[in-house]
Amino acid sequence: MNAPAGQPDLSHLWMPFTANKQFKAKPRMLAHAEGMYYTSGDGRRILDGTAGLWCVNAGHARAEIVQAIARQAASLDYAPGFQLAHPQAFEAASAVAGFMPPGLDRIFFTNSGSESVDTALKIALAYHRARGEGQRTRLIGRERGYHGVGFGGISVGGISPNRKTFSGALLPAVDHLPHTHNLQQNAWSKGQPAWGAHLAEELERLVTLHDASTIAAVIVEPMAGSTGVLIPPKGYLEKLREITARHGILLIFDEVITAYGRLGAATASEFFGVTPDLITMAKGVSNAAVPAGAVAVRREVHDAIVGSVEGGIEFFHGYTYSAHPLATAAILAALDIYRREGLFERARTLSPAFEAAAHSLKGAPNVIDVRNLGLVAGIELAPRHGAPGARAAEAFQKCFDQGLLVRYTGDILAISPPLIIDEAQIGEIFERIGKVLKDIA
Ligand SMILES: Cc1ncc(COP(=O)(O)O)c(C=O)c1O
């Protein structure tokens, strides 16, 4: 396919999670980014209502991060991480540990959320095996959970389009908790919904069915984002923690979108006051300037695995780019900005105004729910008869055309701006969405 003069040829790139044919017929290009704004390929300013993909928490093109990456690329572009290291890898691990709940201070680096999830699942299996409980191989996820796209992640994940094509090759010993989304009970909740803590007790049913001695870990997003913003009911996470601890099952919080300030605290664990055994992260850890991810591991879990081997490699797992020098440079610079600028506190301070602005959409055409926590809001639209997702897709396109980036999953719009947003920009996001919804049948 020949491209028009000045335009790239669109034919070679197979785009991820994208309707390729529709996109290529009407491309949405981004050319530049700074602070709260993208600039589109045709030169329009687009207010970033989603921090990219829930990841640019400190805003775009932060000079300190750009400079740190450039300095690092010039002095040490790459260092193998197997049996070798570079000092910044250790500094970055210490810095990440400083943001984690007490006790989760052993850090394994990856390059993405999907890799962090698969790494955490492997750590869970290795931990039980190291302690002589190698029969604990079962992993428990949750319906509607999103844990990336590795085979481990889609196996414990609960989004059926992500699973069905690969159903013959999913991990064998997996079960799922029910999701917690219930509009009859919880529509228009501000913050955590009141109904649904009892759904965590379904874990007891799975323990009775499979026996605790076969279960390695439970993995959940403390607040599920990609599936359409599902806020945990009050008391739900506490119950999961209590049941897992009682049965010797590890609890993994997938904090790929919640870590680094999204809820107004360093982690969702800190925000909810519930400490798991492992935390997976990516996205905000480097402000998305270089692909990076990590798993924070409770010290005893790490020690059980590393201490179980006399000499030689203790854990047969790792990536060519684990603790890549450019990633560690970006991580150190991003974490420094978060701390120096108090961005998590800023998110917490802004969240009441954000909540009020989001809920101002109650009564807008076709809105059947608004829910929110920290700097996250979900706006659920009534699906069109016979065309689920079409109404939200149209809203997304119209918002983009009118200079606002939102995300959609099914018929749910998700808003998760950079934490540097101000109150005027918060107002602008929800006013524009309100206007767009008035234009959509
Ligand atoms: C909770 C959660 N886990 C895992 C992932 C996968 O991350 P990545 O796309 O970096 O592999 C995501 C991505 O949105 C996520 O939200």
Q: Which CATH code is given to the segment(s) 20-61+342-439? A: 3.90.1150.10
- Give the mutation target among 257, 267, 278, 281 for probing the ligand 1 site: most ligand atoms within 8 A of CB: 257
- pLDDT tens-place string over residues 386-401: 999 999 999 999 999 9
Stretches where the chain sits below pLDDT 50 are none
Q: How far apart are CA 219 and CA 156, in angstroms?
A: 8
Q: Reduced to 3 states, what is the DSSP secondary structure of residue 34?
A: strand
Tell me, in angstroms, the distance from the centre of ligand 1 to residue 144's CA: 13
Q: How far apart are CA 3 and CA 341, in angstroms?
A: 44
Residues in contact with ligand 1 by the CB-under-6-Å rule are 112-114, 117, 146-148, 221, 225-226, 254, 256-257, 282
Say what the pTM is: 0.98
User: For the chain, which residues make up each domain, given as ranges?
Assistant: 20-61+342-439, 66-341
Q: Smallest Cα–Cα separation from 378: which of 432, 420, 424, 430?
A: 430
Length in residues, the chain = 441
> What is the structure's pLDDT at 6?
72
Q: How far apart are CA 309 and CA 99, in angstroms?
A: 29
> What is the structure's pLDDT at 7?
83
Cβ atoms of 291 and 256 within 8 Å: the answer is no
Domain 66-341 has CATH 3.40.640.10: yes
Ligand 1 atom 8, closest CA: 113
Residue 257 CA, closest ligand 1 atom number: 16
DSSP secondary structure, 214-225, as one string: GEEEEEE-SSB-
Residue 224 CA, closest ligand 1 atom number: 1
Tell me, in angstroms, the distance from the centre of ligand 1 to residue 439's CA: 32
> What is the structure's pLDDT at 2?
56
Residue 112 CA, closest ligand 1 atom number: 10
Residue 291 CA, closest ligand 1 atom number: 10
